[in-house]
Structure formats: structure tokens, C-alpha cells
């Protein structure tokens, strides 16, 4: 018994095994370049979808509305605005079914296009412009476009419906003009960012192709 106690006292604990270094999982590790590449793929898909929505809403759907208004152009399409006489002429040419069709169009494609286009433009700004006041300023352009476009749709519907207190023609016309100005400004932002991204990519490709010193 004494020998067993002595042995138990002199027994040393086994040394701990060395900790293995953490091995990063290559399936979850993402670099900044990979994140930007994924964002660019989403951006190009969004641009294509925005172009299709623009074509469907402004070219196809609103163009077909002219068949229900005696060939008169919808107020949404008049870049330079309109006056009270133009509104009265369009209101007289459209019956209740035609006005109902326009209201439905405003609530579907007329709502989806500005919101989707604004999100795609903001994504492009987010990928190309660093954080700061410049990014916020560029974000404001598509955001204002979406807000003004949605407000203009409702104002046009109320204007063509008539009623006891229709909105002022001048205010609705100003919304239409502002919407087109903000839309073209948003497109300019998108084009400028695309040119900047193309230059950056070309510069990176040229630098990668140059032989490095010491090799």
C-alpha cells in the first residue's frame, strides 16, 4: 500500500497536446475581390431586369394605353409637362375602363420599375464609391426618383379621375418633369460608375500583366 501511494504521488501528468492551428475553411472564406465580383454579377442582372421593366412599362404598356385614348399620349410620357387643356383632352378621350387600366398599371409595373431601378442604382454606387458624403449624395438621386415617380402616378390618377377637388395641373406636371430629370440623372450616375469600373478593371489588368521587378 505504501509503495502504491508513493507511486501515485510521484506520477507526473502527461503534457498537453499542442493546439492545432485553426485551418480556415476555403468554402466560407471570401476576399474583397470575390465579394465585389459577386456584387458585379448581381448588378448586371439587375441592370438587365431594369431595362426590361423600362421597356415593358414605358414602351409596351403605356404605348398600348394610347389605343384606349384615341391615340393621345399618356401624361407619364410627356417629358416637358402639360397644361389643363391637355389634361381635359385626355380625360375626355378615356372612359372608366381605360382609367381603371391606367390605375392598375401604375400600381403594378409603375410601382415596381422605379423601386427596382433605384435599388440597382444604389447597389452600383455602393460597389464603386467608398463610404462618405459622396456616396450619400449619389444615393439621394435614385431615391428621389423613386419617391417622385410613385407620387406622380397617384397624382395623375387623381387628376384624370376628376372629382370635386382634383390636384393642381401645374403641380402634377412639375412632378412629371422632375421625375424625368431625376431618371436621366440616375442613368448618368449609372453610366459614370460603369465607366469608372471599366477604367479600374482595365488598369488592374494592365498592372497584373506587367512583369514585376526582381523576377
CA pair distance 162, 164, nearest whole angstrom = 7
CA pair distance 68, 98, nearest whole angstrom = 6
Sequence-ordered list of residues with C-beta below 8 angstroms from that of 186, at least 6 positions apart, any chain: 117, 118, 121, 141, 142, 145
CA 133 to chain centre: 19
Q: Tens place of pLDDT for every residue, the chain, 215 residues?
A: 555 555 555 556 555 555 555 555 555 455 555 555 666 788 788 889 999 999 999 999 999 999 999 999 999 999 999 999 999 999 999 999 999 999 999 999 999 999 999 999 998 898 888 888 988 999 999 999 999 999 999 999 999 988 777 889 999 999 999 999 999 999 999 888 878 777 766 666 677 666 655 55
pLDDT at residue 213, as a whole number: 57
pTM here is 0.76
Amino acid at each position: 500500500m505504501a509503495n502504491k501511494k508513493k507511486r501515485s504521488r510521484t506520477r507526473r501528468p502527461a503534457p498537453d497536446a499542442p493546439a492545432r492551428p485553426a485551418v480556415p475553411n476555403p468554402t466560407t472564406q471570401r476576399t474583397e475581390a470575390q465579394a465585389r465580383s459577386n456584387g458585379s454579377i448581381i448588378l448586371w442582372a439587375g441592370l438587365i431586369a431594369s431595362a426590361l421593366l423600362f421597356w415593358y412599362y414605358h414602351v409596351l404598356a403605356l404605348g398600348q394605353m394610347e389605343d384606349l385614348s384615341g391615340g393621345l399620349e399618356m401624361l407619364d410620357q410627356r417629358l416637358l409637362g402639360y397644361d389643363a387643356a391637355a389634361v381635359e383632352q385626355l380625360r375626355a378621350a378615356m372612359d372608366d375602363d381605360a382609367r381603371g387600366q391606367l390605375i392598375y398599371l401604375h400600381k403594378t409595373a409603375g410601382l415596381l420599375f422605379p423601386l427596382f431601378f433605384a435599388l440597382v442604382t444604389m447597389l452600383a454606387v455602393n460597389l464603386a464609391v467608398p463610404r462618405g458624403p459622396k456616396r450619400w449624395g449619389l444615393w439621394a438621386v435614385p431615391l428621389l426618383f423613386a419617391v417622385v415617380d410613385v407620387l406622380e402616378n397617384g397624382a395623375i390618377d387623381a387628376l384624370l379621375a376628376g372629382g370635386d377637388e382634383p390636384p393642381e395641373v401645374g403641380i402634377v406636371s412639375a412632378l412629371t418633369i422632375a421625375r424625368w430629370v431625376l431618371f436621366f440623372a440616375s442613368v448618368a450616375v449609372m453610366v459614370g460608375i460603369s465607366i469608372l469600373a471599366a477604367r479600374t478593371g482595365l488598369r488592374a489588368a494592365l498592372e497584373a500583366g506587367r512583369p514585376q521587378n526582381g523576377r
